[in-house]
Each structure stands twice: as structure tokens, then as C-alpha cells.
Amino acid sequence: MSRVYNFSAGPAVLPEEVLKEAQADLLDYKGCGMSVMEMSHRSSMFDDIIKAAEKDIRTLLNIPDNYKVLFLQGGAYQQFAAIPMNMMNKHHKAGYILTGQWATKAWKEAKIYGDAVALASSEDKTYSYIPDCSDLPITDDMDYVYICQNNTIYGTEYWELPNTKGVDLVADVSSCFLSKPMDVSKYAVMYGGVQKNVGPAGLVIDIIRDDLITDEVYPGTPTMLKWKTQADKDSLFNTPNCWAIYMCGLVFKWLLKNGGLEAMEKKNAEKARILYDFLDQSKLFKGTVEKKDRSVMNVPFVTGDKDMDAKFVAEAKAAGLENIKGHRTVGGMRASIYNAMPKAGVEKLVEFMADFEKKNLK
């Protein structure tokens, strides 16, 4: 068996220790004679799993007591609809900051349910920067302001939250979830699909301030999309994604054991520095994002020559550096260096890039 360095944007690399633990548990979970995939979601065994997962994510993010944690299905994408359905209930209006495809998709979905206003956009420069969010045209008749905090495709990240002028902030944190400490109390809702930085696909975690969990939802909201349905049953209204919740629980324990999110932030900053430092001195490769807005998780870069990019991707793959091809809408390369990517993986990538540069720079 040999494992590659997997730079996929998602589903993405998981900690090897966690995979081994899941493997050891697979046939007989803690002496119960069955796997987590086979047990009832109403069993005491599973109850322990989901309760421990919630407790551990609360510890990791220091989640205040007045926030509910929900383990849901339908991906981040389904929350693009659930957010306006549950939150556009006072003025039927919200503001969206358009920093890439995911924010734009969320904005378009919200327009189905109410007045979704574009507050700012960085589309003019292919979303290569975060707009100035210090004085946006936010009005107090907006039910919330929405951001995508880390832009997986374009490789930008908010280093400062927008000034929302007192309006509730909603953030899609899919690709930076648990990558560093975040102050949950600054958000009304923080949510993310776990398949980027946390666990396997098929689970989205919502952290919602409890006053936002109400019966006042958009008329016709499906039972399953009403946050209150899920909150009243502690995410067990129907069968949840038991396996993904279990896997996330193992990752939470791995994070706690390895120093929590402060330690993760340091490791992630170090990995990103190694890669960006190389890009900044390279004569062949260059980063595509404004320096001040660079993401610690997703690092896009190009050579400026499509054929050279393709050659690089192919040779990197042959060298055990997988899934380095950029998003189909951007081209070039993208290295996603999530929590579970070891520093050695980034060092190997940079070494490989330096070598490639030497051979291919005319």
C-alpha cells in the first residue's frame, strides 16, 4: 500500500491516524459486533457517538451555549436555500458579498426567496481579491449579511470580517472550517460542508444562534429544511449521515489531541508560508491572488502557459502529488493544503516545483 500526497479541494485528505482508527473499528465497533454503518441511529451506541461529536466541536470552537449545532445532509449547497428560508423572515431582504462561485450561487439561490442584494463583488478581477468591506451599503432592513469566508476555487480568504453595521452575519466556512480558532459569537450562523477540511462527504454542520431557530419560515419550506425541525430533534429527526458524523467525531478527537485549533492555525500558516514563499521567488510559477487576501487552505498558481501547466500536473501526478489541477473555471494549478496535509507534503511539492522549474525554464 502506498498513499499519495492528495491536494484535492474536496472531498479531500483525511488524517491517516483517523482512517486507521476507522479501519480498526470497522467490523466490530467497540465490541458491539457491528460497524457504525450498520447500527441504528436510535441506539445508545450511536447516541454516544453524536453526543461526543457535538461536545468535542463545542470544545474546539468554544461555541457559546446559545448556539445550536446541527448535523445535516444536502451539503453546503442545500443551506444556500435553507438560510433565506429560515432567516429572511423580518424584511425578506439580505445582503451578499460576491467573492467567487460559492457566494454567487448562494446569492442566486436566495433571490428565489426574497430580495438578495449584491453588496460588493470582486468579479472584475476574476475574484482574485476580497473587496473592501469596511463601509458597504448595508441597511438595517436586511435580515442578514452573507459571506463565503474562504473561497475554495479562487484561493482568497477574509482576514477580517466585514463591518455588517450591526446586521447578523452568516458565513459559509466550508473550506476553512476548524482550520483556526474562530469567534463564533461574531456570527449569527456559521456553516460548512465537512468534505473539505473535516470529514467525508455527505454532512454539513450548522452552528446557529438559537433565536434564529423559529417557526417563522418562508411559506412552503420543506419540513427537512426548517432548522427548527432539526434542532428540536438534535439532528435525529430522520436518519442522519451516521458514518460521516462518526468520522467527524474521530477528526475532532484528533484535533483535540494535537493541540486544538491554535496548534492547527500555526501548522497551517507554516505550510502556506512554505508554498507562498516559493511562489514569490519563482520565475516560472506565480500565485493568482492579491497577497493580502491569500488563503491558507487553497493555493492557486499558474505558469501562464496552458501546455506547461498540463505538463506540470501530469508530472506531479507521476511523482505522487495528486489532484493539483486547478478548478476547471480557473485553469492552472491549485494545491489544497487542509489540516490533514502534512508539512512534508507541502515540502515535497515545493521541491518538485523547484526541480520542474530548473528543467523547464528557458
Ligand X SMILES: *Cc1c(COP(=O)(O)O)cnc(C)c1O
Strand partners, 360: none
Q: What are phi and psi of 128, to 5 degrees?
A: -90, 10
Strand partners, 193: 204
Residue 328 exposed, middle or buried by CB count within 10 Å (0-12, 13-18, 19+): exposed
* Whether residue 172 lies in the annotated active site: yes
Q: CB of 153: closest distance to ligand X in angstroms?
A: 7
Residues 7-26 that bind ligand X (CB under 6 A): 10
Q: Is 300 in the site for ligand X (CB under 6 A)?
A: no
> Which residue among the candidates 56, 68, 102, 226 is catalytic per the annotation?
102
State the residue number with the nearest CB to ligand X.
75
* Whether residue 55 lies in the annotated active site: no
Strand partners, 295: none
How far apart are alpha carbons 249 and 239 in whole angstroms?
Answer: 17
Cβ(12)–Cβ(6) under 8 Å? yes
> Which residue among the candidates 68, 143, 168, 196 is catalytic per the annotation?
196
Cell (9 digits) for 232:
428540536
Q: Which stretch binds ligand X (CB under 6 A): 39-47, 74-82, 301-309, 325-333?
A: 74-82
Residue 166 exposed, middle or buried by CB count within 10 Å (0-12, 13-18, 19+): exposed
Which of 68, 196, 294, 334 touches ligand X by CB under 6 A? 196
Which of 175, 221, 323, 336 touches ligand X by CB under 6 A? 175
Q: CB of 338: closest distance to ligand X in angstroms?
A: 11
Q: Is 86 in the site for ligand X (CB under 6 A)?
A: no
Q: Which stretch binds ligand X (CB under 6 A): 42-50, 172-180, 253-261, 338-346?
A: 172-180
* Whether residue 102 lies in the annotated active site: yes
Cβ(155)–Cβ(175) under 8 Å? no
Residue 224 exposed, middle or buried by CB count within 10 Å (0-12, 13-18, 19+): middle
Q: Which is nearer to ligand X, 100 or 353 (CB)?
A: 100
Q: Which is nearer to ligand X, 86 or 241 (CB)?
A: 241
Q: Is 221 in the site for ligand X (CB under 6 A)?
A: no
Amino acid at 212: L
Q: Is 102 in the site for ligand X (CB under 6 A)?
A: yes
Q: Which stretch binds ligand X (CB under 6 A): 21-29, 42-50, 72-80, 220-228?
A: 72-80
How far apart are alpha carbons 211 and 64 in whole angstroms?
Answer: 13
How far apart are alpha carbons 38 and 199 in whole angstroms?
Answer: 19
Q: Which is nearer to ligand X, 50 or 171 (CB)?
A: 171
How far apart are alpha carbons 37 and 219 in whole angstroms?
Answer: 36
Q: Which stretch binds ligand X (CB under 6 A): 70-78, 85-93, 327-335, 342-350?
A: 70-78
Q: Which is nearer to ligand X, 86 or 298 (CB)?
A: 298
Q: CB of 98: closest distance to ligand X in angstroms?
A: 13
Question: For residue 11, what are the contacts with CB-CB under 8 A and spacing of at least 6?
Answer: 195, 200, 201
- Beta-carbon neighbour count of residue 338 at 10 Å? 28
Q: CB of 191: closest distance to ligand X in angstroms?
A: 9
Report how far apart, in Å, the C-alpha atoms of 282 and of each of 203, 285, 355 are: 39, 6, 11
Q: Which is nearer to ligand X, 193 or 303 (CB)?
A: 193
The H or E element spanning position 97 is: strand 93-98
Which of 25, 73, 75, 163 touches ligand X by CB under 6 A? 75
> Which residue among the candidates 172, 206, 293, 309 is catalytic per the annotation?
172
Residues 147-166 that bind ligand X (CB under 6 A): 148, 152
x-or-dash string of contact with ligand X, 26-65, rule CB under 6 A = ----------------------------------------
The DSSP 8-state label assigned to residue 212 in this structure reads G
252: number of CA atoms within 13 Å, CB side?
A: 22
Q: Which is nearer to ligand X, 77 or 243 (CB)?
A: 77
Binding site for ligand X (CB under 6 A): 10, 75-77, 102, 148, 152, 172, 174-175, 193, 196
Residues marked active site are found at: 102, 172, 196
